[in-house]
């Protein structure tokens, strides 16, 4: 059997395992057996106000607990790197926050902690860092030692890059529209993927270049996720994922989380819940109903600046313009269009998951598919990978 055939067979097995309902105790439960759907947010942050956790109605969420250092790129644009020093401090702070509220949080060290949290009316939180820049060092041995250190502190999800590439992977915004750059996974990136698989840590390809995401999907031994993103088939932008990436993630048994950043959800001048539903329908059609998840990418209660502006998108979008124009100057795909909004007002709210649930019901999605989208799919992946 050729290596190519072995890889194809392995991916089919992973997809089959990832889709198996027996991997999730919730998947076998009929909708009428529980008060409501399982709600899992693919990416948010630990809130300052602990009351936000209960108000969100989340059973679990992936929380970016990293901290950043501002780095000026050679071309003058700014990148925000999650360095080792910044992140080792931030994960300690996150641990202190979670441990201070045992009545609210269950620290997510295993996918089964979702069940533990739901059974005790708490919320499981899985620590994530948005960028493998935190894994520093001159030698592979030192790199994996740092990775293990983060794991011992509770890190369970690692995003390969944030916007721009690093020594492991290409970034979505490295994809220069004039030169056609689409940077692949590096040799060191291949080694990191193997280490993450071995340590049962979930790989997140959000913000990766399409080629990097495809490379990871080919070699991973476990399902991967794009925790937060949108479909390029709807908005032709470098930060949005082409169909082949959505399919590749689904083929690993993984999920694609659709987020709340409205300028990447729709080209319509006024965004609405219908635009989110359209993204869900699109990803479901490309990757299958088992590939769809929901993410936020804002704080639990919503984008704070827009909330202060009573969700005035015309005013709120101004804060993004300097950054947007700097990428336009680099001819990055999609930045030639003028952004006109930041949020879907109805969903820039602490109760967004219930509102999405209601919108899916009104759009006549089956209850079983609503269950999958709102949490069942993500729960399956977390239970499959984080053991």
Question: Where are the domains positioned within the chain?
Answer: 3-385
Least confident of 165-174, 220-229, 268-277: 165-174
Q: What is the pLDDT of residue 72?
A: 79
Contact criterion met (CB below 8 Å) for 355 and 272: no
Residue 114: pLDDT above 60? yes
Tell me what the mean pLDDT of segment 343-370 comes to: 97
> For residue 7, what are the CA distances in angstroms to 89, 98, 219, 256?
39, 40, 8, 22
pLDDT class for 176, splitting at 50, 70, 90? low
More confident residue, 74 or 68: 68
Backbone angles phi, psi at 150, to 5 degrees: -60, -40
Q: Residue 80: enclosing H or E segment and its boundaries? A: strand 78-81
Residue 35: predicted pLDDT: 55
Q: Could you read off the pLDDT of 308-346 as tens digits, one per residue?
A: 999 999 999 999 999 999 999 989 999 999 999 999 999
Average pLDDT of span 8-33: 40
Q: What is the pLDDT of residue 12?
A: 43
Long-range contact pairs involving 365-373 (C-beta distance under 8 Å, separation at least 24): 367/31, 368/31, 369/284, 369/289, 370/37, 371/26, 371/27, 371/31, 371/37, 371/38, 372/289, 372/290, 372/292, 373/280, 373/284, 373/289, 373/292, 373/293, 373/294
Mean residue pLDDT across the chain? 90
Least confidently predicted of 33-37, 96-100, 135-139: 33-37
State how far the Cα of 261 lies from the Cα of 273, in Å rounded to an integer: 12
Lowest-confidence region among 153-162, 179-188, 204-213, 280-289: 179-188
Helix axis angle for 377-385 and 3-19, nearest 10°, is 120
- pLDDT bracket for residue 37 (50, 70, 90): confident
| Token pair belonging to 340 | 């006109």
Q: What is the pLDDT of residue 190?
A: 96
Residue carrying the six token digits 């769809």: 292
Q: For position 75, what pLDDT does the model report?
A: 74
Q: What's the whole-model pTM score?
A: 0.89
- Average pLDDT, stretch 279-297? 98
Instruction: Identify the pLDDT of residue 16.
Output: 40
Helical axes 210-219 vs 3-19, angle rounded to 10°: 90
The pLDDT > 90 percentage for the chain reads 81
**Structural contact between residues 18 and 223, judged by C-beta atoms closer than 8 angstroms:** yes
Cβ pair 47, 64 in contact under 8 A = no
pLDDT at 23 over 60: no
The string of pLDDT tens digits covering residues 204-231 is 999 999 999 999 999 999 999 999 999 9
Tell me which CATH code domain 3-385 carries.
3.20.20.140
């Amino acid at each position: 059997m050729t290596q190519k055939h072995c890889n194809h067979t392995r991916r089919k097995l992973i997809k089959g395992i990832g889709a198996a309902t027996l991997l999730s105790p919730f998947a076998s439960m009929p909708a009428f057996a529980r008060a409501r759907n399982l709600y899992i947010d693919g990416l948010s942050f630990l809130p300052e106000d602990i009351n936000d956790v209960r108000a969100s109605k989340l059973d679990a969420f992936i929380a970016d607990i990293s901290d950043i250092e501002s780095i000026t790129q050679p071309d003058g644009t700014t990148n925000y790197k999650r360095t080792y020093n910044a992140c080792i401090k931030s994960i300690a702070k996150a641990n202190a926050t979670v441990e201070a509220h045992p009545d609210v949080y269950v620290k997510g060290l295993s996918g089964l902690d979702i069940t533990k949290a739901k059974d005790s009316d708490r919320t499981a939180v899985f620590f994530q860092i948005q960028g493998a820049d935190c894994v520093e060092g001159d030698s592979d041995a030192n790199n994996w030692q740092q990775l293990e250190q983060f794991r011992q502190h509770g890190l369970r999800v690692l995003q390969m890059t944030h916007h721009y590439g690093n020594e492991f992977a290409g970034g979505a915004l490295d994809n220069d529209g004039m030169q056609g750059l689409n940077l692949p996974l590096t040799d060191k990136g291949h080694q990191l993927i193997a280490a993450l698989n071995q340590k049962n840590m979930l790989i997140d390809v959000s913000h990766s270049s399409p080629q990097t995401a495809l490379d990871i999907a080919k070699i991973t031994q476990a399902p991967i996720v794009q925790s937060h993103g949108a479909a390029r088939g709807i908005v032709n932008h470098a930060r949005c994922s082409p169909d082949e990436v959505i399919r590749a993630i689904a083929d690993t048994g993984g999920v694609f989380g659709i987020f709340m950043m409205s300028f990447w959800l729709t080209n319509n001048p006024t965004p609405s819940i219908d635009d989110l539903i359209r993204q869900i329908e699109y990803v479901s059609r490309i990757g299958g109903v088992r590939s769809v998840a929901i993410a936020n990418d804002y704080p639990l209660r919503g984008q704070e600046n827009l909330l202060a502006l009573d969700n005035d998108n015309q005013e709120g979008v101004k804060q993004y313009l300097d950054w947007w124009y700097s990428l336009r100057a680099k001819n990055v795909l999609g930045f030639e269009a003028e952004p006109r909004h930041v949020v879907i007002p109805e969903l820039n709210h602490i109760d967004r998951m219930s509102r999405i649930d209601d919108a899916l019901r009104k759009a006549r999605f089956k209850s079983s598919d609503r269950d999958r989208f709102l949490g069942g799919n993500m729960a399956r992946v977390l239970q499959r990978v984080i053991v």
